[in-house]
């Protein structure tokens, strides 16, 4: 399900079972990420799937990439794998106006 940035932020704040997933590459991740996100690069193919399999499918996943395309694809894959709640950030990180963290 696609959410606008405002919907994403307000729903995330009220969600006690929320997990944020960044599906961008290492290079993109190093340019900054949404605080609390875990990185799982969708371009890693089977490695991406293996990391998804380690997650608790009963939680709610907030997924983003740079512009919203890869994260929409990731949400679709997650739904096929039995994840009931995967939310895509419309417009992605390049339109993100919230807080940004950087790798140590």
As given in the structure block, the two tokens for residue 60 are 């709610």
Question: Which pLDDT score is estimated for 95?
Answer: 94
Contact 89, 71 (CB under 8 A): yes
Query: How far, CA to CA in Å, does 7 sit from each of 1, 25, 53, 73, 88?
Result: 11, 25, 27, 19, 11
Question: Which pLDDT score is estimated for 104?
Answer: 86
Sign of CA dihedral 52, 58, 59, 60: positive
* pLDDT by 10-residue block (mean), the chain, 104 residues: 94 95 98 97 98 96 98 98 96 95 93
Query: Per the residue annotation, which of 20, 21, 37, 65 is the catalytic one?
Result: 65
Closest CA to 34 of 69, 70, 2, 9: 9
Q: Is 75 a catalytic residue?
A: no
Query: Rounded distance, CA 16 to CA 51, Å?
Result: 22
């Amino acid at each position: 399900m696609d959410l606008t940035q405002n919907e994403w932020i307000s729903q995330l704040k009220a969600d006690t079972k929320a997990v944020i997933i960044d599906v961008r590459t290492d290079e993109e991740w190093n340019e900054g990420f949404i605080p609390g996100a875990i990185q799982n690069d969708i371009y890693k193919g089977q490695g991406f799937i293996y990391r998804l399999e380690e997650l608790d499918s009963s939680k709610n996943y907030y997924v983003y990439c740079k512009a919203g395309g890869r994260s929409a694809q990731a949400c679709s894959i997650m739904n096929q794998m039995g994840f009931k709640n995967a939310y895509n950030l419309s417009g992605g990180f390049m339109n993100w106006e919230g807080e940004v963290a950087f790798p140590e």
